[in-house]
Amino acid sequence: MRIALIGYGKMGKEIEQQALEKDVQVTARFDSKNSDISKATHDFDVAVHFAAPGPVVRHVEACARAKKNMVIGTTGWTKDMGKVWSIVQDQDIGLVHATNFSVGVNIFFQMIKHSAKSFDRFVEYDVFVQETHHKDKADSPSGTALTIAEILMQRIKRKKELLNTPPTGRIKPEQLHVSSTRAGSVIGAHSVIFDSSADSIELTHNAKNRSGFALGALLAAEWVHGKQGIFTMEDVLSDVIP
Ligand SMILES: NC(=O)c1ccc[n+]([C@@H]2O[C@H](COP(=O)([O-])OP(=O)(O)OC[C@H]3O[C@@H](n4cnc5c(N)ncnc54)[C@H](OP(=O)(O)O)[C@@H]3O)[C@@H](O)[C@H]2O)c1
């Protein structure tokens, strides 16, 4: 399979490194100075997007016109999702999107789903989320923390509202507090804490490097090749982990 890397920064280079070890050829690379994808669509089968949120719609349009499937790992473009979904559906291409492509994180999500379901019936337990990333991260809270918050609020009925700014006083019981720290060179750390006066249970995922994201993105690119529709990493993994 031939892939194009849209975004050739930290993630693009990590994906290229791992592609070398698999039967995947990187045949096109785009960055902010060379971003006209329409000129090179004959060169690849699937585009893997780890770039910036601003040009996502334009890049999806260019790939869709050429009937090229995509994997999008770029974060911070939720406001454009409606536009992207209609382009993908109108042009019958395939897209896998995820705020976190790490296989470990996606299994971590499954663990959170299971725990949240159990704690839903025990009002004695409060729940909160903490995340830490390197000082250069553009978005806050992280896309992964927002996904975790969504998972929790869908399963713990007493948590109805996301609080992701520093509280100015007592927080309301229905608020789910998600706190973010930006410091140093931390690749990505996420914790979900279920806390009561009796005990505290903490689930933590620590990314040690970017290789887990790259592995998942390549797995998704191979999986989506030849498919049509909008998918998440959960769909990809449910084929691998029934
Ligand atoms: N979903 C996940 O699992 C996951 C994991 C890690 C990161 N991410 C996300 O992936 C994105 C990239 O992360 P990164 O760490 O690789 O960032 P990075 O090191 O800053 O690299 C960004 C790359 O995107 C390029 N770019 C910027 N504007 C572009 C445009 N208009 N057209 C084409 N390329 C463009 C940059 O080009 P220049 O070099 O010319 O500036 C650079 O090559 C971020 O949104 C990040 O949050 C997602």
- The domain locations on the chain are 2-101+210-240, 103-206
* Domain 2-101+210-240 in CATH 3.40.50.720: yes
* DSSP-assigned states of every residue in 53-89: STTHHHHHHHHHHTT-EEEE---S-GGGHHHHHHHHH
Q: Do domains 2-101+210-240 and 103-206 have the same CATH topology?
A: no
Picking from 105, 85, 103, 104, the residue whose alpha carbon sits closest to that of residue 95 is 85
- Output the CA 85–ligand 1 centroid distance in Å: 21
DSSP assigned state of 34: B
Report the pLDDT value the prediction gives residue 192, as an integer from 0 to 100: 98
From ligand 1's centre to the CA of 50, what distance in Å? 5
Ligand 1 surroundings by CB, under 6 angstroms:
6-12, 30-33, 35, 50-52, 55, 73-76, 98-101, 213
Token pair, residue 62, equals 């260019």
The answer to whether 44 and 1 have CB atoms below 8 angstroms apart is: no
Using 50, 70 and 90 to split pLDDT, how confident is the model at 1? very high
Distance CA 162, CA 177 (A): 6
In the numeric block, the tokens 């379901």 are attached to 117
- Distance between Cα 73 and ligand 1 center (Å): 9
| pLDDT, tens only, 115-142 | 999 999 999 999 999 999 999 998 899 9
Of the residues 49, 59, 68, 133, only one is catalytic, namely 133
Atom of ligand 1 nearest to the CA of 51: 24
Q: Distance (Å, rounded) from C-alpha 16 to C-alpha 142?
A: 24
Per residue in 82-112, pLDDT (tens digit) is 999 999 999 999 999 998 999 999 999 999 9
CB within 8 A of 68, min separation 6: which ones?
4, 41, 44, 45, 46, 47, 93
Express each pLDDT in 64-76 by its tens digit.
Answer: 999 999 999 999 8
Residue 133 annotated in active site: yes
**Domain 103-206: CATH superfamily, name plus number:** Dihydrodipicolinate Reductase; domain 2 (3.30.360.10)
Average pLDDT score, the chain: 95
Which has the closest alpha carbon to 56: 175, 143, 129, 140?
143
* Residue 160 a catalytic site member: no
Give pTM, 2 decimals. 0.85
Tens digit of each residue's pLDDT (9 = 90 or more) over 9-66: 999 999 999 999 998 999 999 999 999 998 888 889 999 999 999 999 999 999 999 9
Nearest to 88 by CA among 54, 110, 106, 62: 62
- Pocket residue to mutate for ligand 1, from 6, 14, 50, most atoms within 8 A of Cβ: 50
